[in-house]
Every structure is written in C-alpha cells, then in structure tokens.
C-alpha cells in the first residue's frame, strides 16, 4: 500500500481540499461544505495538483475521480494519499473501482450521489484514522490483498508482542468493528480503544485499520460479523 502522511512533519490545519477535473462537481461539493468550520479550497485536476495540495497541507482531500477513471487518475489518488487522507468521489458505485481506489491509497470511497451529511461523517471518520467504504468492498479488498501477501509478501513484525487485549481489539477491527463497537464489546472506553490501537499500529508497523485487518484478520481465519 502507498505510504500515508508522507509530510507528517508538517502539521495539518484541518483544511479540506476539493480536487477534480469537473468544475460543476467541484462547485457542488464546495456548496455542500460552505458552512463547515474549516478552511475550504477547491483545485482543478492538472499537472501541478500534487504540489498544490502539498503546499496547502489539508487534513482531507476529496478527489473527484470522474465518469471514466483511467490509470492516470488512480496514479493521482496514490500521490494525493501520500500527502493527506484522501476520499474518492466517483460517478460510478462499482466495487471494482472502489477497490482499485483503496489499493491506490485512498481512505474512503463515495459515489457522487452520497448525501452531504454522509460525506461530512466520512470526513470525520477518515480524519480519525478509519476507512469509509462499503462493508462488501472492504471484505473483498482484504481477501484480495491477503492472497497477494500470502504469495510472497513479508508478514508484519511485532505480532507476537501484542497483549491479549490488543489481540482482541485487532480481531474486532479485522471483522469491521468501529471504535464504539469495540468499546461496548470489551466494556472499555472509546478513549482506551484509541490508545490500544495506537500501540497496536506501532507494534505491527501499520498506519491504518485496513492495514491492521490485512495483518491479522485473514490469517487468523476471521470472517465478517453476522
């Protein structure tokens, strides 16, 4: 997976960048977030997009993939995802496109007809380090990447150092549980869950819930929650 937060030495100011080649879609998204309490900027898709986003140091980038995404569009997702947490907006809702976007490094995927309230929720969760995507897409991606890993990718280090509680939390994450679900299941606070996840990420050398699921879930034979 592409490296995330490549400019982590520079603190983000919570800004939101809306990027893409469709001016009408950029205007629509700008209108949806006009009342948001954050710095808001829109930029077109051009050769200087990555450097422009890097200079803005946003928390999240909403990138409109357009109607007919090509290899260059997914390359752009990879570049943006190394600069900020990126949510892809796409005209299509096809699982294959969502999976390809996530494999390129995106933290979220939303079709264009996603209501503004859900986009706001997606941004909040992605900023908190979670993945925003349909459960079916997530499971398909985990299965696909796990098969790739099992054919020769090295396993993450540090797994043997997880405590029993950390292993339980990692297992729940692999099943798709959110922080609140985990807190309720283990009778601990959400703050405690976040602290454990920070420690787990450091021990396993991962930086996202998706990478944690890939590192622990399929190998342990975990499946979706019923």
Q: State the chain's mean pLDDT as an integer.
A: 77
Cβ–Cβ < 8 Å for 65, 73: yes
Q: Please check whether residue 188 lies inside any domain of the structure.
A: yes
Does 130 lie in the same domain as 62?
Answer: yes
Q: What is the pTM of this model?
A: 0.63
Q: Please check whether residue 113 lies inside any domain of the structure.
A: yes
Q: Please check whether residue 11 lies inside any domain of the structure.
A: no
Report whether pLDDT(96) > 60. Answer: yes
Q: Give me the number of domains the chain comprises.
A: 2
Q: Please check whether residue 115 lies inside any domain of the structure.
A: yes
How crowded is residue 80: how many other Cβ atoms within 10 Å of its Cβ? 26
Does 124 lie in the same domain as 43?
Answer: yes
Does 172 lie in the same domain as 121?
Answer: no
Tokens 């098969």, residue located? 147
In this predicted model, what pLDDT tens digit does every residue of 166-207 receive, in sequence order? 988 888 887 777 788 888 888 899 899 989 998 998 888 777
Q: What is the mean pLDDT of residues 96-113?
A: 88
Q: Please check whether residue 148 lies inside any domain of the structure.
A: no
pLDDT band at 86 (very low <50, low <70, confident <90, very high): very high
pLDDT band at 20 (very low <50, low <70, confident <90, very high): confident
Report whether pLDDT(3) > 50. Answer: no
Q: What is the mean pLDDT of residues 96-119?
A: 88
Report whether pLDDT(142) > 80. Answer: no
- Residues 114-151: b if buried by 16+ CB within 10 A, e if exposed: beeeebeebbebbbebbbbbeeebbbbbbeebbeebee
In this predicted model, what pLDDT tens digit does every residue of 39-83 receive, in sequence order? 777 787 666 888 888 888 888 999 998 877 788 888 889 889 888
Q: Please check whether residue 92 lies inside any domain of the structure.
A: yes
Query: Residue 203 maps to which CATH number?
Result: 1.10.10.10
Does 171 lie in the same domain as 127?
Answer: no
From 138, 169, 201, give the residue that closes a domain.
138
Residue 167 belongs to domain spanning: 157-217
């Amino acid at each position: 997976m592409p490296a995330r937060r490549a400019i982590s030495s520079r603190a983000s100011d919570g800004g939101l960048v809306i990027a893409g080649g469709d001016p009408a879609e950029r205007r629509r998204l700008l209108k949806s977030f006009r009342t948001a309490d954050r710095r808001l900027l829109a930029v077109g898709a051009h050769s200087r997009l990555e450097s422009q986003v890097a200079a803005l140091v946003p928390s999240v980038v909403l990138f409109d993939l357009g109607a007919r995404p090509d290899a260059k569009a997914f390359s752009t997702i990879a570049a943006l995802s190394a600069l900020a947490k990126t949510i892809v907006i796409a005209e299509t809702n096809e699982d294959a496109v969502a999976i390809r976007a996530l494999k390129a490094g995106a933290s979220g995927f939303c079709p264009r007809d996603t209501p503004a309230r859900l986009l706001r929720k997606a941004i909040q969760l992605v900023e908190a380090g979670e993945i925003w995507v349909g459960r079916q897409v997530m499971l398909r991606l985990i299965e696909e990447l796990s098969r790739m890993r099992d054919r020769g990718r090295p396993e993450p280090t540090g797994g043997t150092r997880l405590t029993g509680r950390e292993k339980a939390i990692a297992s729940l994450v692999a099943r798709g549980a959110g922080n609140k679900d985990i807190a309720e299941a283990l009778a601990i606070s959400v703050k405690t869950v976040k602290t454990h996840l920070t420690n787990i990420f450091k021990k396993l050398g991962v930086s996202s819930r998706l990478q944690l699921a890939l590192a622990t879930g399929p190998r342990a034979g975990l499946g979706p929650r019923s």
